[in-house]
Structure 1
């Protein structure tokens, strides 16, 4: 059987005894080292070229991949976003309060209403919000709001989320989703895989973890 990596096109002939699994398994490509899902019951003819003498694909046991779990819809994601907005807003308020107190100690009599101070406060608040969403998404796929609602951001191929991809999804992707009159967010309600524009840009799903216990 000739197995092809969907990420880089690397192909290699795999002995049948290496593909004895009857359920989907994770496979690590020796070329690009990305993970992809191999389903022996639905494998199709590849179109890549074999690289003689190259290392073999690495087959890894795969139970129920998170990307295969039922997708979280618009309203549960909106509820999680509301919870996150309360938490991040409170966090921003505390940090801005401490920042103002520090400035008062260092700069006696500073004008808190000046344009410079307003811009500094806005930048600091934005930075706190960005760190909140990017950090929690990159390290675990769940902000506190998503934890509370039992939903999670995962890659479409079940590989690990990186800090760069989390930044791309949470900052750039969500900016694009919002700047087009929120249409990028509304896509979640109508997309068959419940993906917003930012999900499509970052190749992510948001799945329901409470469905894990109902899977075989």
Structure 2
């Protein structure tokens, strides 16, 4: 699998991989109905943009973590931070909505493949700057660029707020395996410490 690079658009895999496997019952409990429809191949593909390089390797090549910006195929929910990415920019056969406020960690094994075209550096920086505005890291929105469309609708609009809540719930499909990986690491370190202590006692 090629290493994801910042600015690339990747399709999200419908097969969730994690060092701690979730049973079907656990998936029904943990994941929203929209995620379950996606995993059952009953909803359109989902896409993300790679935001940062992979984290330094600590344990294994298998569980690499990368930061991603969520994209949506629902392009009618434009706001000042949900921006329309035209198909001619993404290289896909449809427009996408960049959720500049919504950057999350994901295991790279849960990204299926790179699709479309890599986002230009200018647009990539613009998307991240708009996200910084949403999180209060800068005081005002950056000037618009002609290729990207945004609405004057503020994020406090009830329809936008509801959309954001739905998208946060959907992103569990990527964030829960990362949480499981960190739990796995903690338990592994604890187990290793117990084994080391037992060996030390035996040697004494």
Higher relative contact order (Cα pairs below 8 Å, separated by 6+ residues): 2
Greater helix share, 1 or 2? 1
Greater strand share, structure number? 2
Greater C-alpha radius of gyration:
1
